[in-house]
Amino acid sequence: MTQQDIARMTGVSQATVSLVLNGRADADVRIAPETRDRVLQAIRSTGYVADPIARRLAARHNRIIGVFTYEPVFPTGTGDFYHPFLVGIEQCAEQLGCDLLLLTSAPVVDGRRRAFHEDNRLRLADGCVLLGRSLDHHELTRLVAEGLPFVSVGRREDAGGPVPYVGADYPAATAALVHRAVGVGHRRLAYVGQGDAPSGPDRRPAPESHADRFRGFNAAVAAAGATGRYEQTVDRSPADLLDALLDAGVTAAFVEEYADGAAIAGLARERGLAIPGDLSILALGDPTRPAPTDIDFSGFRIPRRQMGWQAVEVLTTLLEPTGRSEVQRLLSCEPVDGATLAPPAGSGRSVK
């Protein structure tokens, strides 16, 4: 069934059918109400569906939102971490009446995809949601320069222009956790993670999410007058990290990656140490890789579903401007009381 078929059935021109389908009026063409009703009735009775490519040419969008993932999102090791983001993206798209297109044609090389691989199909969608712990800065710069509508899930640095994003307020969440630890008597604290240090053979810059946590930790430690220590995790074993923490007299460790906290806590237990009696461990977010443990970590949760949902909201404001200019959003993280924060031994204080 085509627009020409609908036109023949109703005795009107194809242009009239197109105007009715798109709900638009033409300054030179007035469509009588009875004509419009006749065309709509024919569309309903035949089950006609407009060609999305043709509608895109007419209306400049086809209500298809692309989702590009820099890392695979379905392997067992990371599926649980990405799932809430995808749930939020799907729920918002459904509410808006949009379809999702998962862009997977670019191959995964060294654990990452390239948005501008020769097989990329970004332009099939009206706009794109970018999902990944670390996004390529050069590709972000190109996306901004070429004017492709996109929104990053996670805060990103400017790339030749503002980058639209919906991220988590890691500095505030980490700082609040530091103040909570200091409030129960901890004075020697350590940040355990990548922080803002580059890593990998190509010295890839640290993800903004890691650097933001590290920045919040340092600011809060300085404001509290406590002593802060930085333990880089790259190429170091849990045993090496635990030894370094104990040798430095650290009483509260803030772990960037949940799995690192689980490994350190498990090893400490094997050595006969009590968590949190001998060492408090606080998790700065949700697991990004498998971390089997029965420990209920104190820390905070990332608002992953809300980040996915609002990323689609921001993308729609870019596609159909309504005067709203808030295209960079930071969402609050949810504090988790947990059971791994306690006053340091001998302080006589209690956790509140």
| Per-residue confidence in pLDDT tens, the chain, 352 aa | 778 888 888 988 878 887 887 665 554 557 888 888 998 888 888 877 665 544 544 455 678 999 988 877 775 555 488 889 999 999 999 988 889 998 877 766 666 677 776 666 777 888 999 988 777 788 888 888 888 899 999 998 877 788 999 999 999 999 999 999 999 999 999 999 999 888 766 677 788 999 999 999 999 999 999 999 999 998 899 999 999 999 999 999 999 999 999 999 999 999 999 999 999 999 999 988 888 888 999 999 999 999 999 999 999 888 877 666 689 999 999 999 999 999 998 655 655 5
Query: Which architecture characterizes domain 170-301 according to CATH?
Result: 3-Layer(aba) Sandwich (3.40)
Could you tell me where in the chain the CATH 3.40.50.2300 domains are found?
64-167+304-332, 170-301
C-alpha 245: how far from chain center: 31
CA 337 – CA 352 distance, rounded (Å): 9
DSSP characters over 66-109 = EEEESS-S-SHHHHHHHHHHHHHHHHHHHHHT-EEEEE--SPPB
Could you tell me where in the chain the CATH 1.10.260.40 domains are found?
3-59
- Sequence-distant (6+) residues with CB within 8 A of 189 are 178, 181, 182, 217, 221, 226, 227, 228, 229, 250, 251, 252, 253, 254
SS3 content of the chain, % helix, strand, coil (to 5): 40, 20, 40
Q: Which amino acid is at 26?
A: D
Q: What is the DSSP letter of 232?
A: E
Q: Domain 64-167+304-332 has what CATH class?
A: alpha beta
What pTM does this model have? 0.79
CA 125 – CA 143 distance, rounded (Å): 14
Angle ∠(134,140,217) on CA atoms, nearest 5 = 40
Cβ 88 vs Cβ 315: under 8 Å: no
CA 88 – CA 109 distance, rounded (Å): 27
Q: What CATH number belongs to 3-59?
A: 1.10.260.40
Q: Classify residue 82 by burial, with Cβ atoms within 10 Å: 0-12, 13-18, 19+.
A: buried
